[in-house]
Structure 1
Amino acid sequence: MYAKLETRTFLAMLVGVSIAFALLMKPFFGPIFWAIAIALIFYPVQQRLTRRFGDRPNINALITLLVCMVIVVLPVLGLGAALITEGLGIYQKIQSGDIRPGEYIDQINQSFPAIQAFLGRFDIDFMEFRDRAVNAFLGGSQFLAKQAFGIGQNTFQFFLGLALMIYVAFFLIRDGQQLVELLIKALPLGDERERLLFAKFAEVTRATVKGNLFIAIIQGGLGGLIFWILGINGALLWGVVMAIFSLLPAVGAAIVWVPAAVYLAAIGDIIPAVILSVYGMVIIGLADNVLRPILVGRDTKMPDYLVLLSTLGGLVMFGINGFVMGPLVAALFMAFWGIFIREFSEESRPRSGERESGSAESD
């Protein structure tokens, strides 16, 4: 009796301490999560270095981390800085009156009055729609301006999070395999189940991060290139914005290039509007419709609609990290239920010996 009480008390304290530790780590969720993602994505690089140079964990982990810095971290920081700079410039032009978003929408309405009639069929007031679109544009530029000022005011906090991510990633790259084995021993789920779940976690994280970021880079680069060729102002900014929106399946970069094509047609630039429309549907759209199912859906082994729904839900729940967290939660959900259905069906199915003894008894 006393032994059971000791065990229950210990387990209760174990759960309490674990919850307290999770709350303690909550402020660093972003850096820790991306450190885990970096370790998973670049694990093959670390393994290749180990086979080539031998078991030198510190040096191999450091080289792997440097490769990650050059390929991922520095370009992302550069694009982020360019986005904020371009957005701040547009915000200043809006404040000075050089850019008037409302006039652009009015120009489209004057050139295509059928749009207002079409919206009226669905009881959508055009002026209300116009005001919301202008407010959304102003809100986006103000957000970028606040981010620029915020980064300047919180430079220490920003670089602290970046340094923490790199620091944790180094140890995860170096000791990741040992940590996984330790968790397998500690978790009371059964070693086979745990290895399957950890494999699914790694597989989905790699697929969503590599696939979505690769598609975002391609669509943003293609979109920024055509904007620059057509002479549209802020091509770099709109390219980065298209890259961000391309994280949303089925919506993607079209939320940027479609209004731009409509506006070009409204002001009489028919040929550039046609070029942008064809380029957007064929070239930019091809990158999303062809590459996303291959890079994301195939590797996660989830249907396209579930990838879409889990990505949107993840963005709502977890913010920008949700484009990885959403599909990850959905994949683990499917993995857990797959294990349950397989093992429950095997346990509930009567064995051949049991069926034979049962039939003999009935005779």
Structure 2
Amino acid sequence: MRDKLEQRSFLILLILVSIAFGFILEPFWGAIFWACAVTVIFAPMHRWVLGKIGEKPNTAAAITLLTCMAIVVIPVIFLSMAFVSEGVQFYQRVEAGEIDPRQILQQLREAFPWLDQLLVEFGIDTNNLKERISQSLVAATQFLAKETFSIGQNTFSFLISLALMMYLTFFLLRDGSHLIQLIVKALPLGDEREHALFQKFAEVTRATVKGNLVVAIVQGTLGGIIFWILDIPGPLLWGVVMAFLSLIPAVGAAIIWFPVCIYLYATGSWISATVLLGYGAIVIGLADNVLRPILVGRDTKLPDYVVLFSTIGGISLFGINGFVIGPLVAALFMATWQIFMKDFNGEL
């Protein structure tokens, strides 16, 4: 009787201490998550380096980490600096009245007068709708510009999180295998099941991060190039925004280039609008329709609709980290049920 009481009391203490430790680490969850993701992505390279230089785990981890910084971190920092600079300029133009969303809306109304008649036929109050759309355009434009401005103001916080992430990545690269063995011993789920779940975590994280980032870079670059060719203001700013939005499957970058295309038609720039429409639908859209299933869907072994819903749901709950967390949770959900069907119901 006393032994059961002690076991239950200890389990309660274990849960409470674990929850408390989780709350302590809460401000650093983003850095911890990306440290784990980077470790998973660069683990094959770390093993290769370790095999080349012999049993020197510190040196191998340092070489892998420096390579990661040269390939990923430094280019992202320079791109972020350019993005913030152009975003600040965009914000200043909005504040100075050089870019007026209300004027843009008026030009669209004049170019497509049949929209007002169509809305009236459906019983929609056009005056109220116009005011709401105008206010929404102003708010959205100012929000985008101010958020970009705030990123520049929070550079120090970003650098601290980046330093913590890289610091933790070094130790995860060096001690990752040992840590996984400890976790497998600690969790009472069965070693085979735990190894299967860890393998699924690595597969999905690697495929989601690499695949989505490749698609984002390709679509953002293509979008920025066509905006620059067509002399649309802020090509770098909108290219980066399209790269971020391309993390959302199916719609992604079209949220930016399609409204711009409509605006170009409204202002009489028919050639530019037609070029942008064809380029966006064929070139930018092809990058999403071809690359994403190959790089993400195939390796995660998730249907396209599951990737879509889990990505959108993950982003809505966890912000930018959700484009990885969402599909990861979906993949672990399906893997867990597959294990259950196999081990408990005798189904494959």
- Could you say which TM-score interval applies, normalised by the shorter chain? over 0.9
1:104-131: CA deviation from partner (whole Å, max 9, x where unpaired) = 2211221122333445565555555554
1:24 pairs with 2:39:
no
The aligned amino acid for 2:311 is T
Please say if residues 220 and 239 of structure 1, whose CA atoms lie closer than 8 Å, have aligned partners that are also in contact: yes
Task: Tell me the residue number matched to 2:12.
Answer: 12
Task: Give me the CA root mean square deviation.
Answer: 2.0
Partner of 2:344, secondary structure, is: helix
Distance 1:120 1:162, change over 3 A: farther
In structure 2, what is the Cα distance between the partners aligned to 1:306 and 1:185?
A: 32
The aligned amino acid for 2:29 is F
1:325 pairs with 2:325:
yes
The aligned amino acid for 1:236 is L
Pairwise CA distance, 1:175: 0.9
Distance 1:149 1:271, change over 3 A: closer
Please say if residues 314 and 322 of structure 1, whose CA atoms lie closer than 8 Å, have aligned partners that are also in contact: yes
In structure 2, what is the Cα distance between the partners aligned to 1:79 and 1:121?
A: 48
Please say if residues 208 and 296 of structure 1, whose CA atoms lie closer than 8 Å, have aligned partners that are also in contact: yes
TM alignment of 1:307-318, pairs within 5 A: 307-318=307-318
Distance 1:201 1:169, change over 3 A: same
The aligned amino acid for 1:187 is L
Task: Tell me the residue number matched to 1:357.
Answer: none
Higher alpha-carbon deviation: 265-274 or 214-223: 265-274
Number of residue equivalences = 348
Task: Tell me the residue number matched to 2:222.
Answer: 222
TM-score (normalised: structure 2): 0.94
Please say if residues 88 and 149 of structure 2, whose CA atoms lie closer than 8 Å, have aligned partners that are also in contact: no
In structure 2, what is the Cα distance between the partners aligned to 1:124 and 1:138?
A: 22
Please say if residues 87 and 141 of structure 1, whose CA atoms lie closer than 8 Å, have aligned partners that are also in contact: no
Task: Tell me the residue number matched to 1:359.
Answer: none
Pairwise CA distance, 1:141: 4.3
Pairwise CA distance, 1:262: 1.3
Pairwise CA distance, 1:100: 1.1
Please say if residues 215 and 246 of structure 2, whose CA atoms lie closer than 8 Å, have aligned partners that are also in contact: yes
Structure 2: segments with no counterpart, 5+ residues: none
Partner of 2:250, secondary structure, is: coil
In structure 1, what is the Cα distance between the partners aligned to 2:295 and 2:119?
A: 37
Pairwise CA distance, 1:268: 1.6
1:279-310: CA deviation from partner (whole Å, max 9, x where unpaired) = 10110000011111111111111111111111
Distance 1:29 1:294, change over 3 A: same
In structure 2, what is the Cα distance between the partners aligned to 1:48 and 1:121?
A: 67
TM-score (normalised: structure 1): 0.90
Task: Tell me the residue number matched to 1:250.
Answer: 250
1:145-171: CA deviation from partner (whole Å, max 9, x where unpaired) = 544554555444332211111101111
In structure 1, what is the Cα distance between the partners aligned to 2:66 and 2:122?
A: 55
Task: Tell me the residue number matched to 1:53.
Answer: 53
Distance 1:258 1:148, change over 3 A: closer
Task: Tell me the residue number matched to 1:110.
Answer: 110
In structure 2, what is the Cα distance between the partners aligned to 1:263 and 1:43?
A: 47
> Which one has a bigger Cα radius of gyration?
1
The aligned amino acid for 2:158 is F
Pairwise CA distance, 1:19: 1.0
Task: Tell me the residue number matched to 2:233.
Answer: 233
Higher alpha-carbon deviation: 3-12 or 306-315: 3-12
Structure 1 runs (4+) deviating above 6 angstroms are none
Pairwise CA distance, 1:70: 1.4
Pairwise CA distance, 1:187: 0.5
Task: Tell me the residue number matched to 1:181.
Answer: 181
